[in-house]
Structure 1
Amino acid sequence: MGQLSQQEYMDSINKINQELVQAWHQDFRVKALKITIQCSKYLVDTSVIQFYPSKFVLITDILDMFGKLVYDRLLSKAEYYPALPDNFTANMVPESAKETCRNWFYKIASIRELVPRLYVEAAILKSYSFLTNREFSQALMRLTRMTRGIGDPLVAIYARCYLCRVGMSVSTIDRQFLKDNFYDFLAVYDQLYSSHIKRELNAQKVDITTYLGLYAPALDWILQGLAHRAQHSLLDEIVDKCSGKKNKGLLLNSILSTFKPSYISSRAQYFIKLIESCSGDGLPQYIILKTLGECLQQYGVEDPLKILNLSWALINRLTNPSHFMTCAHAWANFVIKNLSPNEINIFLGDIISHVGFEGKNFYPILQDIITILFSNITDFESLFTMDKLLPLLDLFTEDVKANVCRKILDTFTTKHHCDKFTDPVMIDALIFIAKILHDSVTALTVDDEKRQIGNLISYLIRKIHFGRDFEKQLTFYVEARGTFTNIDSIHVTLVQCVNRLAVETGRIVKSHHTRKTSSFVRACAAYCYITIPALSSAIVKLQLYLLSAQVALFNQCLGQADACIKAALGLIPEIPSAIEVDSKLVSTQDFLRGYICNMLSTLIVVPDCPDQGVLYLTRGLVNVLQHYTEDNNSTIKSELYLNVIDMLATVSLSEYPYHIKKVDSNDVLYGSDPKFITEINKMCSILVEEVLNNLKSLRNNEELKKQSKLAFELFLRLVIHADLENPGMANLSFNLWNLALKHNSLDKTLIVSTNAFICYKFYCYIVIYCEKNVAIYVPLLLSTYCNGI
């Protein structure tokens, strides 16, 4: 198999595994044993030495499968008698099963080659439980002694690793075999640097560092099992024996990888001295320093600065930037978690100086270091005052820098829970990072990514606060508008922030504006008015215009409020009939209803401009609605007209239900002047006529329910707001009532409650009218309504 590629070799091993299982299930036990022996022989071959650990894993999987098959076979033979419990003992096993078990071990003992005999017996080691209760320890010690006969140190240590793994699965108390296996490896450790091994490595063109790295998985596994729950005295003994070796780098690296972090941390200075003495070993010093850094980040030390200084003196000697960055990456957690911002800044400076112009070769490491920095540090103000942070970002190219900045802001928004931050240095740094991220957005950027970036920057903008210095705050928002021009959601956030700033100003002065505060809130209103047109969504612009108008009105900025409302009126025809929400088209009619109601509620308190005429904004709204294009058979326009009628009925009152402080609404300006009321009546007549025309157009069967509902709504407006002394108005309401009841589509409960209301209201009217001798129409109308129910 020496000529096969790695994938072909893996496929071949998997095929052998399938043949083993197939042979076993076909009762070809000898064939299955031969297959297992043949696979074990592959573990003697080191002709492709770099592939040996992978080959070990593949073949030991086959051995494990064979061991399981043998054990299950013996268990099935033993269970011809009463079933064995899980913790059975040898005296519970019938003699026939014991005899079969002995036969297996006799067959394996007859294998001539040492390595296959050792591996196959280790594979079925668990089956000794059918013969005796104490054979495990003796067998493990015997097999351990057998490994001393393996000449190749790489083959020997993996054989010891497999023996230890099997031994730990069957013997949980006696761990002497682990210690013996490790000490046997120490006894032949010098062979790793022998001239024979060097010639073999030269022949295969493998360097000593790569070769020593092949030992690490097996050595780590043995040491890990040995150190598990071990006393410190045993660990000290192991360290002393390893430190006495001439070339101890490999041993020291495995100790740092497998021993408890608490043990390593308490002896950190001693291990640093050992690492310093390993400078000439085959295993590079930077690998051991990397392992020490990874170990110390898991457990604290008493004097972290001293430990860092001792280790960093060794790390700074590394001339290869790749080696230095490997160590810096491993020590980043330790430095950031345990040291002050000043030491962290020096740490970043050393990284910058060692990387130099080769930054593109270390982008993944640099990104991880920045992520660790922002994930673990809590004092963000000190972080952003570091003079090495932004130069570190400059090591990246623009596209990579954008990804790094995104991670920074994402981590910042997750970790930073402070309500506001005001430090100017911190603000400048964050805006610089946000600008890099914003500038990465192009026409090819997908909408979801734009949304995420917009949310991150919007969060940042909302958190920046300059206290009571509102002018500085507004200046910041002006600069932010010029900095972030590509994402609509950021502009929406800016408009909302400026409106909030204007409201806060009005709240502080309690609506008693001075010349200075009045100029300021007007500047805020102008900012919003200028910013909103840059947005692409007509619906968002409509909402912001109305919000800005309400804020301007709150601050007595009547001209700015009028301008925003006029701009909103001009946008209403641009509302699309449907918008996409969660990949589905949704009608905008519900939005339009709610929006017009909100606007009408605002128009109630908006005073008329003397130069524009009576209710000029409301007239403008009605004109816009008349040109609004609705779907066929839709009643949306008539429903909006009915809302306008409700609004007009309210503005005809002598005193409005609500006001804005320091703003004189039309109830104060007109005082229920007859001319004003006449204009309202004219507008109402036009709107009622429009609704009636819509009622006449609803004639098809599928439109009858809409007709009934619309007739009922108009009827309610007339009953509540109209003058029913007028015969024409009384007859109209009567006809509308009959039309509403005609198709039996109204809810019965609604009809009964409406009837009760009408009876109560008209009873009061009759008493009043009779005193004036004008009761001729009302009793007739009342009786007609009552009879209609």
Structure 2
Amino acid sequence: MAAVQWHSRVRRYVAEKQSCGLEVASVEFGDYHPLKSITVTDSKSRRGARKGSTSSSSSSSSSVAMDPLSCMMDGTDPLSMFAAASASEPHLTLPHSISSGRKEKEDEVAVDFEPWSSKRGEILARFTTTEKLSINLFMGSDKGKVAITVTGSQRELLNLSQQDYVNRIEELNQSLKEAWASDQKVKALKIVIQCSKLLSDTDVIQFYPSKFVLITDILDTFGRLVYERIWSMCSDPHPLPGTGSDEVNDTAKETCLNWFFKIASIRELIPRLYVEIALLKCNCFLTKCGIQKTLPRLTAMIRGIGDPLVAVYARAYLCRIGMEVAPHLKDSLNQNFFDLLETFRQIHGDSVQNQLVLQRVEIPVYLTLYSPAIHWILQCVSYRAPEDYINCAEIWVEFTCRHFTKREVNTVLSDIIKHMTPDRAFEEAYPQLQSVIRKILTYFHDFSVLFSMERFLPFMDMFQKDSVRVEVCRSIMEVFIKHQHEPTRDPVILNALLHVCKTMHDSVNALTLDDDKRSLALLINGFIRMVSFGRDFEQQLSFCVEARATFCNLEPVLVQLIHTVNQLAMETRRVMRGSHSRKTAAFVRACAAYSFITIPSLTSIFSRLNLYLLSGQVALANQCLSQADAFLKAAVSLLPEVPRSVSIEGKMRSSEGFLLDFINNFLSTLLVVPDHPEAGVLYLVRGLLNMVQDYTWEDNSDAKVQVYVSALPLLAAMSQETYLYCIPKVDSNETLYGGDPKFVAEINKLCETLIGQVLDHLKILGRDESVRRQSSLAFSLFGCLLAHGDLRNNKLNQLAVNLWNLSHKHGYCDTQTSVRTLEFIKHLAQQPNMLHISDMVQRLILQSRT
């Protein structure tokens, strides 16, 4: 196969289009149409009717279209049947272990509750004194007799330093343990009673908080010893008997009642109150609701204490023990707090004021003595209070959204923020807060109204855990995309949603899954598509510039922004009807600059290639020739970087198919691109072919010569006097060269070079016995010569015949395609001035492998 001279066939595109048009056949009403609904006739043969009979007497017809699925199921829906069956089943109750587990959770204080032990040392270190202290212990009715042996004389007990006082209290605590161990239960009780009496003494008022800590240590020890003693008497001491059930035998109950009877015989209020509080947990041995009934009674007893300082610490001790044994019983805690508020008026009474004057204590110093007790009471009252509150608010917000306006909803949000912000309570209520957001989004689809609520965005600020915050932002964007049907330019909506989208974008890191990135990008792209500033194109471009800086880590968003800017340039062209003013011409060049700057930041090489080409086409349509030239040259220079394989949905695949598609699209664009006056004839076509020539293709690949074959139709179209298509107000090469013979000669020369390359490759395939590939490539080149070559040239005509015969030589050519092609050639030969085609048909051999 010797090289031949190329001559392009002269084309008359308008005439060819008319001749190739499909005939229009009129369809009368009632005729068959593929989209027309089908009427199914259900025929039921009569008994005894002749087989195959079609008479009307042997069948019944229905004009209603029948659903085969409905027929099979007798009109019943299996999913509805299952739902009905499940609704009719009785609800299962929780097993005892689960329900009891929940109750045990309620009866336990969570780890986030600051224990008393962490405050004890702080109080002892803070509230000190240099004055002398006294310990008056009189066990009997005779006040002059000391019934307990304490190291030292009576004088020492009445004139103690702070450290001596602490040491003496420690000795009493040890004496309590020794008396209990030696089975002297009455002596132990007397020690506790006398120590409790010390809490009524406020002679050294500045030391009272520390005294409270030391004395309550003794009370705690006594309460623990009594409880363990009664517990050991139970019939089954292993499980914790917190219910007064059969596990507690009569002996244990009688012992417990005996202790409470002894406490009831204490005449003075303060020791009787403190000792009973210390044994509060023992009420569980008597009845199931013993603790629940005892707490209100003890709370009421404290109201009988006249000194407000003594009373507040008694309330603190009751709240502390109450939290240890029954933290879920909140009523008594709240009542103690309210009683505390009522006692503050006593501070200004004569009794307290006279005491402060006597001890030379100022009011500010005196008030600091209340702080440990008040702080503890408030901690107990606030425990799980946000949880209770938010559970209520979660339900209330739906009622407000359904029946009221944004004003009332805003008030509810403000109240939630007020309650959940202290101590960062919102961190424990993220599910409920998310539910609040979902319910608001269910009823408020107008985002201008939603974001006009002053407290909505501050409410969102409470979601400070990254995963939760992103999930909330997802919910907002999903609702926006679903219900926002018209583009918006509302600054309130745009600023708020930009913040929401930025939150989602900033959550992306190196560990983020590709699926998560893709879903986030889809939501952000949905927002970008809904932003429109109308005819204010410059504002739209400014928004895209801001969005590019905000969403730089999500490549699909950058791609969407480039498409948006290209669309903006084309919209400008439409508004100006293709005739740009100086201002709009500068604007579309700015759009081109935006795309040219943004595209290199993309990692996907095919995204860059396609966007370079698309942006070049947009620039060309807007008469930005230098910008279009820059885009196309950038695309050509990028081709050598295309890898031989790319990752598609996690799998590595050959990139040849994608590359060939891009090159074919690129070639079709080059028809309307005018040559640069300083770059030579067909410089972009030559540059592309040179890149194809130097590219490292896969082994045993015909992709390179397929590009050469694809370039021949482009070169043939370039040699026509009138091009197949053009861009208004852009002069293509048909205008620049005007059919100059030198230009046509350059085209023909380039075509001959390409054909020579293809023919050489066919020879190589023949030597390598790759006859199937040779057949396919030869048939492809034959079709190109038939469509675009001037076959009146004998050498070109003979080359076409040889290619046909080569493609059919080994029988690998598709027979159906060959037959249809041969029929087309015969039809073409019947046209005027097609004698050379008639002669060629005679030499075409149709051969198959059979």
Report the TM range for the smaller structure's normalisation. Answer: 0.5 to 0.7
Residues 201/517 of structure 1: CA separation in 2 closer, same or farther (3 Å cut): farther
Q: 1:549 aligns with which of 616, 622, 630?
A: 616
1:751 aligned residue: 818
Q: 1:505 aligns with which of 572, 577, 581?
A: 572
CA distance in 2, matches of 1:590, 1:208: 79
CA distance in 2, matches of 1:728, 1:418: 63
Residues 394/731 of structure 1: CA separation in 2 closer, same or farther (3 Å cut): same
2:140 aligned residue: none
The CA deviation string for residues 302-323 of structure 1, in whole angstroms up to 9 with x for no partner, is: xxxxxxxxxxxxxxx9994343
2:386 aligned residue: 321
Q: For 2:563, give the aligned amino acid.
A: Q
CA distance in 2, matches of 1:648, 1:547: 22
Q: 1:565 aligns with which of 624, 632, 637?
A: 632
Residues 282/481 of structure 1: CA separation in 2 closer, same or farther (3 Å cut): same
Asked whether the 8 Å contact 1:481–1:491 carries over to 2, the reply is yes
Aligned residue pairs total: 504
The CA deviation string for residues 51-97 of structure 1, in whole angstroms up to 9 with x for no partner, is: 799xxxxxxxxxxxxxxxxxxxxxxxxxxxxxxxxxxxxxxxxxxxx
Alignment of 1:674 onto 2:741 = yes
Alignment of 1:450 onto 2:520 = no
Offset at residue 766 of structure 1 (A): 7.4
Q: For 2:411, give the aligned amino acid.
A: I
CA distance in 1, matches of 2:744, 2:286: 103
Q: 2:718 aligns with which of 637, 651, 661?
A: 651
Offset at residue 477 of structure 1 (A): 0.3
Alignment of 1:202 onto 2:283 = yes
Asked whether the 8 Å contact 2:697–2:703 carries over to 1, the reply is yes
Alignment of 1:785 onto 2:844 = yes
2:420 aligned residue: 355
637-646 or 745-754: which moved more? 745-754
Offset at residue 707 of structure 1 (A): 0.3
| Helix, strand or coil at the partner of 2:652 | strand
| Helix, strand or coil at the partner of 2:646 | strand
1:734 aligned residue: 801
Output aligned runs, 1:451-466, within 5 Å.
Answer: 451-466=518-533
Q: 1:337 aligns with which of 388, 395, 402?
A: 402
395-404 or 492-501: which moved more? 395-404
The CA deviation string for residues 533-572 of structure 1, in whole angstroms up to 9 with x for no partner, is: 1010001111111111111111111111111111111222
Offset at residue 423 of structure 1 (A): 1.0
2:490 aligned residue: 423
CA distance in 2, matches of 1:495, 1:583: 25
Offset at residue 374 of structure 1 (A): 2.0
Q: For 2:743, give the aligned amino acid.
A: F
CA distance in 2, matches of 1:683, 1:48: 86
Q: For 2:692, give the aligned amino acid.
A: L
2:78 aligned residue: none
Asked whether the 8 Å contact 1:711–1:736 carries over to 2, the reply is yes
1:604 aligned residue: 671
Offset at residue 744 of structure 1 (A): 1.2
CA distance in 1, matches of 2:801, 2:642: 37
Which gives a bigger RCO, structure 1 or 2 (Cα 8 Å, sep 6+)? Answer: 2
Asked whether the 8 Å contact 2:390–2:416 carries over to 1, the reply is yes
Q: For 2:556, give the aligned amino acid.
A: S
CA distance in 1, matches of 2:552, 2:606: 19
1:522 aligned residue: 589
| Helix, strand or coil at the partner of 2:486 | coil
The CA deviation string for residues 127-175 of structure 1, in whole angstroms up to 9 with x for no partner, is: xxxxxxxxxxxxxxxxxxxxxxxxx9999xxxxxxxxxxxxxxxxxxxx
| Helix, strand or coil at the partner of 1:512 | coil
2:562 aligned residue: 495
| Helix, strand or coil at the partner of 2:647 | strand
Asked whether the 8 Å contact 2:243–2:284 carries over to 1, the reply is no
Asked whether the 8 Å contact 2:826–2:838 carries over to 1, the reply is no
Q: For 2:546, give the aligned amino acid.
A: E
366-375 or 520-529: which moved more? 366-375
2:189 aligned residue: none
CA distance in 1, matches of 2:827, 2:390: 88
Alignment of 1:630 onto 2:711 = no
CA distance in 2, matches of 1:751, 1:50: 83
CA distance in 1, matches of 2:291, 2:559: 58
Runs of 5+ unmatched residues, structure 1: 1-41, 54-151, 156-194, 213-278, 286-316, 770-777
Q: For 2:402, give the aligned amino acid.
A: K
Asked whether the 8 Å contact 2:244–2:285 carries over to 1, the reply is no
Q: For 1:441, give the aligned amino acid.
A: V
TM-score by length of 2: 0.54
Q: For 1:785, give the aligned amino acid.
A: L
1:536 aligned residue: 603
Residues 786/367 of structure 1: CA separation in 2 closer, same or farther (3 Å cut): closer
CA distance in 1, matches of 2:418, 2:589: 52
CA distance in 2, matches of 1:528, 1:539: 15
Q: 1:437 aligns with which of 504, 507, 521?
A: 504
CA distance in 1, matches of 2:748, 2:291: 96
Asked whether the 8 Å contact 1:550–1:561 carries over to 2, the reply is yes
Rg larger in structure: 2
Alignment of 1:388 onto 2:388 = no
Offset at residue 754 of structure 1 (A): 3.4
Residues 386/540 of structure 1: CA separation in 2 closer, same or farther (3 Å cut): same
Residues 553/208 of structure 1: CA separation in 2 closer, same or farther (3 Å cut): farther
Residues 153/691 of structure 1: CA separation in 2 closer, same or farther (3 Å cut): closer
Q: For 1:337, give the aligned amino acid.
A: R
1:190 aligned residue: none
Residues 459/47 of structure 1: CA separation in 2 closer, same or farther (3 Å cut): closer
Identity across the alignment (%): 42
Q: For 2:399, give the aligned amino acid.
A: F
Output aligned runs, 1:700-719, within 5 Å.
Answer: 703-719=770-786
CA distance in 2, matches of 1:333, 1:606: 61
Offset at residue 281 of structure 1 (A): 6.3
Q: For 1:575, give the aligned amino acid.
A: V
